Amino acid sequence: MDSVSFGSDNHSGIHPQVLAAILNANEGFCPAYGDDPLTIKVLEQIKELFGGNCDAWFVITGTGANILCLQAIMHSYNAIFCAQSAHINTDECGAVQKFTQGRLKPIETPDGKLTPKLIAPHLLGNRDQHHSQAKIISISQSTEFGTLYTLQELQELADFAHQNDMFLHIDGARLANAAAALKCSLKEMTKDIAADIVSFGGTKNGLLCGEAIISFRPDLTSAMRFYRKQASQLLSKMRFISAQYQAYLTDDLYLKNAMAANAMAKLLAERLQKIPEITITQEVAVNSLFVVLPRQIIEPLQQKYHFYTWNEEKNEVRLMCSFNTTETHIESFIQDLKALLVVKSPHR
């Protein structure tokens, strides 16, 4: 095992209850490709959790969830608005363009959040036949900057999308962290604000792998299972994703894991705020922090703890907590950071 990592919530392992569920599902034989009773049951549970009148599918990766959500509701002549920092824009190797054949229109934001005001100027002249036709607003909840849309902001974006003949897609790789922070249900954050299609991530929050797609427009997404197969996102031994989600939903494990990760990020922020040399650059709403550190301590600290430099020019790093980050991890990180500050600044 590596040293303690604040690199990503992907660096955590599998939650013991999820691992137990995988082992439990490892009995005998059952139909493949999602035709097994467990998959059918757990997908029903997910639909219920999201308020019903929706459709749901399991996929293997977050990138897969994004491309399928988008592909299912657009044509190749459509455009997708997203934040410049959106995972679909920065970290999916052009997968959205490849699978949808549409155009991404990234918009600069200060905090990873789109607003109707930021999008509106890009709609001017949009219905011209020479232009890709704007069809989707894609947002991440929580965002890649660890910020959150309030329910009101989500509602405004959905209303704006629909008034302008567009759909609202939510990349919910960290939807559980958002629900935990907003103290609202998954339904309130998606169906109730009239989102059209969303993902509900598991991998970053205690699963080995697995994401769920939920469509509130089943009229538009009847081809999803074909697109899923084409995208290699149809796991043959589907029962093992379903078993993980069953554990994830049992006694709200998804919320408990997300609350634990969020709480550790809050604790880390509290500790860092007391150190004058450190600046936190984004609101700490969920499980990640963006922090400017004195340049000279970044590398030595990275020798002991894994974390990424986000913006080299600004000496800004990203610190991310997971469901299994502990107070001990935080305290030892802070102690080591403080020790480096003393060593590197002998005149203090």
Ligand X SMILES: Cc1ncc(COP(=O)(O)O)c(C=O)c1O
In the complex, the residues that contact ligand X under the rule CB under 6 A are: 61-63, 66, 87, 140, 144, 171, 173, 203
Residue at token pair 């229109």? 105
Contact 114, 83 (CB under 8 A): yes
Minimum CB distance to ligand X smaller for 107 or for 297: 107
C-alpha 45/C-alpha 249 separation (Å) is: 8
Could you tell me the strand order of the sheet in which 288-292 lies? 279-280, 288-292, 316-320, 308-311
Give one DSSP letter per residue of 47-89, joined into a string. Answer: HHHTTSS-EEEEES-HHHHHHHHHHHT--TTEEEEEETT-HHH
3-state secondary structure of 93: coil
CB of 193 to ligand X, least distance (A): 18
Minimum CB distance to ligand X smaller for 68 or for 278: 68
CB of 201 to ligand X, least distance (A): 7
CB of 230 to ligand X, least distance (A): 17
Minimum CB distance to ligand X smaller for 61 or for 205: 61
Burial 86-117 (b: 16+ CB within 10 A, else e): bbbbeebeebbbebbebbbbebebebbbbebe
CB of 146 to ligand X, least distance (A): 10
Q: What are phi and psi of 345, to 5 degrees?
A: -125, 70
For the record, the structure tokens of 342 come out as: 């003393």
Residue nearest to ligand X (CB): 62
Minimum CB distance to ligand X smaller for 63 or for 262: 63
CB of 203 to ligand X, least distance (A): 5
249 - beta bridge partners? none
Minimum CB distance to ligand X smaller for 142 or for 242: 142
Minimum CB distance to ligand X smaller for 228 or for 341: 228
CB of 280 to ligand X, least distance (A): 20
